[in-house]
């Protein structure tokens, strides 16, 4: 089989790269062994304009939010399903110091932050909730729905091989590469944590982190909002079900869920939620990022033999469409890739 581009990985990065290649009529084939424990398939899907306890504006927020809203709407139209929902995030304040800090940030980023004159929810849903702040707009992506429906599309087109990729079987040729029975001009690597199995550049400060989350049933919590305190509560597609997390562990012994995370989260939930909840499932996955929390985007050389879209960390849902678009535009038209994201910054 001959194709122009071989994509390794069909997580959030590989899916968006496949979408933009298809949109530009670039023939491609995807290799991805389905893994329900991959970081993309465990992600909550929140696109938040601010980050951290200090509510600092997210890197590129002013560009990312409108781009992502349009991009997810367009891919949803392509798939004939909705994969993104606009949400407001409710931040619960349990003391006056938290309220004062948020108020200061409102003055710095009034386009994203607000303290409403009247709370949009009943405060007695939560213990000791004295006031709330609003973060908006935020977006909630149905990641599993997006990945599964795009995979179905690839299957229908005969454009996916659902098996494990072995980098040792790639052979460089005069016209590109061969991998088993596939001949391609170039390869794009979108394989998340598996980047560690390949020697790209020892100068890249890779930073794999483990994240854990719980799936809860909270039938009495209004699903029109995302809720934050020390934890984040995201409504899922199934009525009454919620995603809560996530941890951010730099040092971990294994990739499986831990009892320590479950106990810590359960304790925090009991102190926060004033309504009944039930734990349904526990999840864990390893995300690939970099120490400076910027992605890895670009090509190996001016000839563009192979490309990379990786290192998105916890911001995969917002960074993947934006930089997949930049990568394809660079391939086809030579457009610039943001220097802060270009992986060649480490060369």
Integer-rounded Cα Rg, in Å, for the chain is 21
Tell me, what DSSP letter sits at residue 342?
A: B
Q: How many CB atoms lie within 10 A of CB 70?
A: 12
Q: What is the CB-side half-sphere exposure of residue 120 using CA atoms within 13 A? A: 18
For the chain, percent helix, then strand, then coil, each to nearest 5? Answer: 35, 30, 35
Distance between CA 297 and CA 304 in Å, rounded?
A: 12
Before 282, cis peptide (omega within 30)?
A: no
Domain of 29 in residue numbering reads as: 1-45+142-204+292-347
Q: Is residue 211 part of a domain?
A: no
Segments in the chain below pLDDT 70: 36-37, 199
Q: Is residue 238 part of a domain?
A: no
Distance between CA 258 and CA 149 in Å, rounded?
A: 31
Buried/exposed code over 225-235 (b: 16+ C-beta within 10 A; e: otherwise): bbbbbebbbbb
With 0.85 as the threshold, say if the pTM is over it: yes
Q: Is residue 125 part of a domain?
A: no
Parallel/antiparallel/unpaired status of strands 206-217 and 278-290 = antiparallel
Distance between CA 264 and CA 35 in Å, rounded?
A: 27
Parallel/antiparallel/unpaired status of strands 176-179 and 296-299 = unpaired
Calculate the alpha carbon distances from 324 to 173, 181, 257, 337 in Å.
26, 26, 31, 10
User: 317 and 338 in contact (C-beta within 8 Å)?
Assistant: no
Distance of CA 167 to the CA centre of its chain: 25
Please name the residues in contact with 284: beta carbons below 8 A apart, sequence gap of 6 or more.
37, 42, 210, 211, 212, 213, 255, 256, 257, 258, 261
Q: Is residue 37 part of a domain?
A: yes
Q: Is residue 161 part of a domain?
A: yes
| pLDDT recorded at residue 223 | 96
| pLDDT recorded at residue 36 | 64
Tokens of 255: 């990739």
Q: How many CB atoms lie within 10 A of CB 267?
A: 10
| pLDDT recorded at residue 37 | 67
Distance between CA 286 and CA 209 in Å, rounded?
A: 6
Distance between CA 57 and CA 291 in Å, rounded?
A: 19
Tokens of 33: 């062994």
Q: Is residue 228 part of a domain?
A: no
Before 137, cis peptide (omega within 30)?
A: yes
Q: Is residue 306 part of a domain?
A: yes
Distance between CA 293 and CA 131 in Å, rounded?
A: 32
CATH code for position 28 = 3.50.50.60
Distance between CA 240 and CA 279 in Å, rounded?
A: 12
Please name the residues in contact with 102: beta carbons below 8 A apart, sequence gap of 6 or more.
55, 91, 93, 113, 115, 133
Distance between CA 180 and CA 193 in Å, rounded?
A: 23
46's enclosing H/E stretch is strand 46-47
Q: State whether the Cα torsion 145-148-150-153 is positive or negative.
A: negative
* Overall number of domains in the chain: 1
Q: Is residue 171 part of a domain?
A: yes
């Amino acid at each position: 089989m001959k194709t122009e581009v071989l994509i390794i990985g069909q997580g959030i990065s590989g899916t968006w790269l496949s979408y933009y290649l298809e949109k530009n009529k670039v023939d491609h084939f995807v290799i991805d062994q389905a893994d329900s424990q991959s970081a993309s398939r465990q992600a909550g899907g929140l696109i938040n304009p601010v980050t951290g306890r200090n509510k600092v504006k997210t890197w590129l927020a002013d560009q990312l939010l409108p781009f992502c809203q349009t991009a997810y709407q367009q891919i949803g139209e392509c798939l004939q399903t909705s994969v993104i929902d606009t949400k407001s995030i409710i931040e619960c304040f349990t003391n006056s110091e938290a309220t004062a800090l948020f108020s200061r940030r409102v003055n710095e980023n009034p386009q994203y932050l607000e303290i409403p004159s009247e709370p949009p929810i009943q405060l007695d849903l939560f213990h000791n909730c004295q006031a709330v702040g609003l973060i908006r707009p935020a977006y909630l992506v149905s990641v599993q729905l997006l990945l599964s429906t795009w995979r179905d599309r690839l299957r229908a087109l005969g454009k996916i091989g659902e098996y494990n990729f072995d980098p040792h079987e790639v052979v460089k040729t005069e016209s590109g590469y061969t991998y088993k029975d596939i001949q391609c001009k170039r390869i794009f690597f979108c394989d998340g944590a598996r980047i560690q199995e390949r020697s790209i550049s020892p100068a890249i400060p890779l930073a794999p982190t483990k994240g854990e989350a719980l799936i809860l049933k909270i039938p009495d919590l209004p699903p029109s909002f995302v809720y934050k305190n020390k934890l984040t509560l995201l409504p899922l597609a199934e009525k009454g079900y919620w995603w809560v997390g996530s941890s951010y562990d730099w040092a971990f012994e294994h990739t499986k869920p831990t009892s320590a995370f479950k106990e810590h989260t359960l304790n925090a939930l009991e102190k926060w939620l004033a309504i009944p909840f039930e734990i349904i499932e526990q999840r864990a996955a390893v995300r690939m990022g970099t120490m400076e929390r910027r992605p890895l985007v670009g090509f190996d050389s001016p000839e563009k033999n192979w490309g990379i879209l990786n290192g998105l960390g916890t911001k995969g849902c917002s960074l993947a469409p934006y930089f997949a678009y930049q990568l394809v535009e660079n391939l086809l038209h030579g457009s610039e890739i943001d220097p802060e994201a270009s992986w060649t910054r480490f060369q």
